[in-house]
Structures are given as structure tokens and as C-alpha cells.
Structure 1
């Protein structure tokens, strides 16, 4: 798979251009599935209005509203109770997965429980994450980001990339998300770790990592 791991969605030209390049065709010719599951695990996100805003393409969440040929909803918590023949072909045929923010460990849990995590490596789709939807691809997220507690009590995520992410760096509404806080977080992460602001994304193709940014970011190496 190809990964475009964002802090706040596809919200500037550089990130938008990176996405189009990864799709290798116009957005208007591409099909998408949006995954709101992470929002249910975070009290800020859901359930309720914010999930509807993400699914409906509200400008607060620049993912679904980019002009896709079609957009569907893939709710991971429902998949274990549905025959795989009803949803696996849909995922295999789509061009992009748009994965919301929320709680990264809740999302990690349901990616595994639903079977999507096992399916991901075989997909041709571009995976576009936002905040927790990006963090879930890391080996772990760091204790400061643990909200929903998984059954094993650990901060391990899916590990499809070999680095961790600290999103929303220096966000005006998140006063604790400072560079100093990111440095403390990175000191406890075993491996590379990126702090990125909302104008930054990380592009990963076949393991090759490229930062796409109109803002600021920092790589911490262990």
C-alpha cells in the first residue's frame, strides 16, 4: 500500500498534489471509502455530530469533500458481523481509504478485529490518514496519546510504518502540543518519530518516506 499520513487532512496544495501523484489519476476519477471508526473511541469525536461532519464532507475535515467520483462508508465495528463477501471486494476495488482521527488504539483494535489490518498489505488503494488515522500505522503511539485502553493495556499500534507520529504540533487549540512536549514524547519512543503540524504530511511508498509540508515538523531519531 501507499500511505499519506496527515495531521489534519488534505488541507493544502502540497498535500493535495502528493495525493494526486500517489493515485496516478485525477481525484474526480477515483473512488473512496471513508472510515470514521476512530472517532467513536474519543469523547471529543463521537458519537454524534462530528462523525456526521466527517462522513458528509464538512470543510472542517478536508478528506471526503475533495471531489471524488464516489464515496462510501466503511464502519469497522460492523464488519465482524457481516459476511466478508459483502465488503472485501468493495475494499479491494476502491482507490483510496480516508481514515478519520479520533483514538488510535481504538482504531487499531477494530482494524484487527474487522480483518481490515490483515487485508491492507494486499490492497492497491492509497491509505490517507488524519491524526489518529495516521498514528495507527506506527509500531506504537506513546503513552501520552493513550485514551481508550486496549485489552492488552499497551500502546502498540499496527506497525505498517517504522516511525511514530506526534500530530497537531503547536496547534492553537491544543496548548499541550508544543515542541517541548514532542521532544519528551519522542524520548520514550523506540525508533524514529516525527512531530508534524497541520500543514504537514508524511508520504510512504514501498517503505520510502518523504515529508510533504507547508508548515513545520521535526524528525527525532532514537
Structure 2
């Protein structure tokens, strides 16, 4: 599967303790107002449709001195889909696509992390959509950690990758009548800001 990934916002502050004790990962919580979850797919093979999800949450454990100990849990509420068309939103939440009533959330949980030479984190984990869970390896780019006066400690990440929606039973077969209306490949992009708690 071809993918290009820039992952949502991760930040960590590691505190060195006396006596040569190891650094400990800090826990960051995703800031929804400053983060974005968007997607793009081809329609009629000639142009692209865009959309986003507006309700999501996540927890990130991260230590800049030991990035391979990264842990990520991220969840997106399906009923927050926004394609700037209310009729289309309802259709996508229906049984033919996401089946939001039966499967109200999508999630990703990391299991293993590897650091590449350029600093990108290759994150392997389980992506769950519509009751189907598949292993995915996603390249993650940490954007850094910063202490913001009168605000707190913030971390940032970007991720961009692709999935085949048919692999997760998001087919739309009844709606399309078997016609090739929507492309199977979905480009997903996350811009994530997370706050130290």
C-alpha cells in the first residue's frame, strides 16, 4: 500500500531525575480546536471530494530522548463527518458506508515504533473502521515540543497516509448501483496539536 504520512501533533517533555534514572514519557492529550482530521477521494475518476471529522480525541505518550517508546491512541467519532453537504453526510453515516449506529467510532492504537534516519517515526498499529481491524505502518513526523507562556506545553505532529476503503467494508455498493463513482483509495491527513497534562 502506498502511503505518505505526516502525523498529528505529538509533544513530550522528559524530566531527568537524579541518580541516573531514565527519562519518563509524558502524556499529551489531543487539542481538538487546534487539530485537523481530513480526507480526500476521487469521484467519477476525474475530480476529488474533500471532507473532515470534527469530533476526535487522543492520548500520546512521548519522550523526545527515546522516541521509539511512543504510544498513541486516537479515536474519531463517525457522526462528526462534514462534507459541506448535510444529505451526503447522512448517506455516509448510513449502513452502506460507515454504519455509524453500529460502529460509532474509528480508532488507531500503536504497537511498535521505529525511528528512521531522517527522524521520521514509523508507527505500526491497529486501525479499526466499521468493525474491521487491520495492521498499518504509518510514517510520523514529530514537529516538536514547546512551552507556551500562560498556556502550557504543546506538542505537534503531522501524518498523511492512504487506505483502501473497501478493505474496511466502507463500500457504498447499494448507493452506487455497482458503478465506479467513488475511488477506493482515500487520502487521510492529520494535523495534531497535543497538550501536556
TM-score, normalized by length of structure 2? Answer: 0.23
Larger Cα-atom Rg: 2
Structure 1 or 2: more helix by fraction = 1
Relative contact order (alpha carbons < 8 A, sep ≥ 6): 1 or 2 greater?
2
Indicate the structure with greater strand content: 2
